[in-house]
């Protein structure tokens, strides 16, 4: 699911930069959100500044977006709530994730091999466990999701405790094993896996 999220991000940002940065309907969504979130704005910045070696496109985009923001602030009164819309790139990614969560569950329901493969996996990161859990339509789907997630989390906890134990002076002489990177795996389990080390200027290649 992390890979799915990164693919959705890359394709949305690439499409926006290449085809929608002059589309006022698309710009309006950015205006209503008072900009992209930090993650997606950084992706746009990398495309324009680092890959294209310019600041013109992102400046034009921001000027168009800020024109709408100025108009909205002029209409805002002191007794109104300030409630920007969600980041449009986040909305697109979340919709993509929901559809792929449903696909994952359908595959597990119709393919015993796929179900067995998932059962043997290290589970999902917690940010993506939530949409898959919410998309589960049957009790058996949730039972499988929960059993895999419980086993993965308990195994990681065991590795973390072993990693801590081997830092004790009494046990420092013991050889390091699978637990040595448990702290990194724990971070990834709570935050999600990082995107592939590729430029944001192009969508992820098809496999």
Query: What pTM was computed for the model?
Result: 0.81
Same domain, yes or no: 5 and 86: yes
Are residue 46 and residue 87 in the same domain, yes or no? Answer: yes
H helices present in the chain, as ranges: 2-15, 24-32, 38-45, 56-75, 88-110, 112-119, 126-135, 139-165, 182-191
Q: Are 61 and 87 in a shared domain? A: yes
Mean pLDDT of the 89-109 span = 93
Q: Assess whether 106 and 124 both reside in one domain.
A: no
Q: Are 100 and 116 in the same domain?
A: no
| 14-58: pLDDT as tens digits | 999 999 988 999 999 999 999 999 999 999 999 999 999 999 999
CA dist 163 and 74 (Å) reads: 56
Q: What is the mean pLDDT of residues 146-156?
A: 94
Final residue in a domain of this structure, among 75, 94, 110? 110
> Are 47 and 139 in a shared domain?
no
| Closest listed residue to residue 14, CA positions, set 200, 171, 205, 207 | 200
DSSP letter for each residue of 170-192: TTTTSPP-GGGGHHHHHHHHHH-
Of 32 and 173, which is predicted with more confidence? 32
Instruction: Give the end of a domain, one of 76, 110, 144.
Output: 110
Asked if residue 198 belongs to a domain, the reply is: no
Q: Identify whether 205 is part of a domain.
A: no
Q: Structural domain of residue 159, as residue ranges?
A: 112-193
Residues of the chain with pLDDT > 70: what percent?
94
Please give the radius of gyration of the chain, using alpha carbons only, rounded to the nearest integer. 22
Residue 99 shares a structural domain with residue 148: no
| Residue that is last in its domain, among 57, 82, 110 | 110
Domain assignment present for residue 207? The answer is no
Q: In this structure, are 23 and 105 located in the same domain?
A: yes
pLDDT of res. 119: 86
Residue 199's pLDDT band, with cuts at 50, 70 and 90, is very low
Residue 200 falls inside a structural domain: no
Is residue 202 assigned to a domain?
Answer: no
In a domain, 145, yes or no: yes
Domain tally, the chain: 2
**Which residue has 């910045």 as its token pair?**
45
Evaluate if residue 196 carries a pLDDT over 80: no
Assigned domain for 101 exists: yes
């Amino acid at each position: 699911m992390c890979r799915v999220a990164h693919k959705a991000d890359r394709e949305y940002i690439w499409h926006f930069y290449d085809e929608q940065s002059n589309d006022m309907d698309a710009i309006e969504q950015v205006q209503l959100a008072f900009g992209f979130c930090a993650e997606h704005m950084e992706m746009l910045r990398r495309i324009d500044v680092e890959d294209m070696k310019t600041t013109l496109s992102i400046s034009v985009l921001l000027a168009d977006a800020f024109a709408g923001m100025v108009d909205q602030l002029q209409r805002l009164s002191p007794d109104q709530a300030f409630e920007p819309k969600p980041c449009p790139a986040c909305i697109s990614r979340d919709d993509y994730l929901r559809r792929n969560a449903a696909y994952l569950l359908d595959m597990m329901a119709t393919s015993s091999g796929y179900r067995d493969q998932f059962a043997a996996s290290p589970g999902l990161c917690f940010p993506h466990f939530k949409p898959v859990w919410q998309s589960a339509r049957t009790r058996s789907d949730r039972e499988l999701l929960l059993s895999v997630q419980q086993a993965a989390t308990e195994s990681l906890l065991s590795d973390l405790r072993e990693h801590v134990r081997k830092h004790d002076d009494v046990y420092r002489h013991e050889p390091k094993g699978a637990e040595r990177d448990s702290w990194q795996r724990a971070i990834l389990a709570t935050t999600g896996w990082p995107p592939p080390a590729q430029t944001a200027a192009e969508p992820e290649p098809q496999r």
